[in-house]
Amino acid sequence: MSSTMVENGVTMVADRAADALRERIASRDAICGVVGLGYVGLPLAVELARAGYRVIGFDVSEAVVANLSAGRSHVQDVSDQTVSELVAAGLLSATTDTTRLGECDAISICVPTPLSKTRDPDVSYVVSAAEAVGRALRPGQLVILESTTYPGTTRDLMLPILERGQLRVGEDFFLCFSPERTDPGNPTWHVKNTPKVLGGITATCLEMGLALYGAAIDHLVPVGSTEAAELTKLLENTFRAVNIALVNEMAQVADRLNVDIWEVIEAAASKPFGFMKFTPGPGIGGHCIPLDPYYLVWKMKTLSYKTRLIELAGEVNSEMPRYVVEKVRDALNGHRKALNGSRVLLLGVAYKRDVDDTRESPALDVLRLLAEKGAEVAYHDPHVPEVREDGVVWRSVPLTEEVLRDADCVVITTDHAAVDYERVVRCARVVVDSRNATKGIAADNIVGLSGARTAPVEAGAGAGRTTA
């Protein structure tokens, strides 16, 4: 029973709202709405449908809705077959009509939360979604925000919108925050088996959220407030951003010491305690790591606190594309060629291997910087047929031996597994490898992030390093 003591029967009404929702969740009669059907929303919708709920997906894109309705997926981690089977079973449907939010017993909001050009949080998509939900809000509904944002968003931004009418949180409707933990392209960890953090505005809100997601997700991690859940997500990705910045800086340190950074990382990773392996690269990409720390930076500025370490890590990571371009310039100089006018082929524009996601990809920064310096740039990516950068449409070129030989420099910016790197090294004049994709290939035409490349040393060899 509700612990709220209110006269005139309001407590009884609140109890009935909670009890009715509990029963619909337990019996799988609850209808779930998922607002935003991208990399986060569609996989979540699929798992809720697999758990037996009927799911209505909402998206502003008519093309996305039409494809899903026809059984076609636009998200790499969700197959056409999965979508087709769920649609045919009547468990998954899609629409652009937000008035249908009133049909839903539970609504998960999975809309983008980008940064503005000044790195301030852009919560316009969250506000728009909250207003749409607010217009349709009725007693007994559960609303869960999944979009990554700054601590306080659920309570201070969403809650006032939802309480504009006569309904009250924890009594008439229920509000939670549960940060998405989607890792595109990960074959092991997905929505169902990745532990899910959940915080509610009230204890009853949390109870409702746990009941809903408990049927679809293997392990739930409840926390005491929506702010704790919001900060959990930011800590996870700030931790990664800071450690990636450290190893990116160490790559530049190793370069000046003429030491192979990859050898150093592998040696350090042999320690069974006190070290966690991170690897350098051309920068950081995806929707989370490049953006999430700045939500925290912005929030703390409103509280007159400067997050110095986080901001410095962001500076280091954002400079890595320029560092890679400098490596390309130096490699070309070694062949008596200027960067201006040279033909440069990028291998990969996705932000990480074996995905088609180019959001915040550092490879696009490398591409842009090379073009600005006068290089004739082309790219090959088996997962990204075309990409738009600064208003220019770039299209992937076939990775033929002729293309490789024609390039003055090949730059590995994404280490896709489908690429034959031995062939790349064999055919290319010079290869700048920012991902260590050519590990184990001995050749004089490979330039890594640090100045030296080392061949494997057998245990007990005694002599230390052998330079390739």
Q: Which positions are catalytic?
A: 288
- Separation between Cα atoms, residue 399 and residue 419, nearest integer Å: 9
Structure tokens at 290: 């490049």
CA distance 179 to 48: 16
Structure token pair of residue 140 = 């007994």
The answer to whether the beta carbons of residues 234 and 242 sit under 8 Å apart is no
The dihedrals phi and psi of 392, each to the nearest 5 degrees, come to -105, 135
Region at 342 (left for phi over 0; alpha for psi -120 to 50; beta for the rest):
beta
Largest CA distance in the chain: 87
Cβ atoms of 378 and 372 within 8 Å: the answer is no
What is the token pair recorded at 466? 């052998």
Torsion of Cα atoms, 258 then 263 then 266 then 268, to 10°: -40
* Token pair in block for residue 452: 């030296």
- Do 265 and 279 form a contact (C-beta atoms < 8 A)? yes
Tokens 């089977």 belong to 85
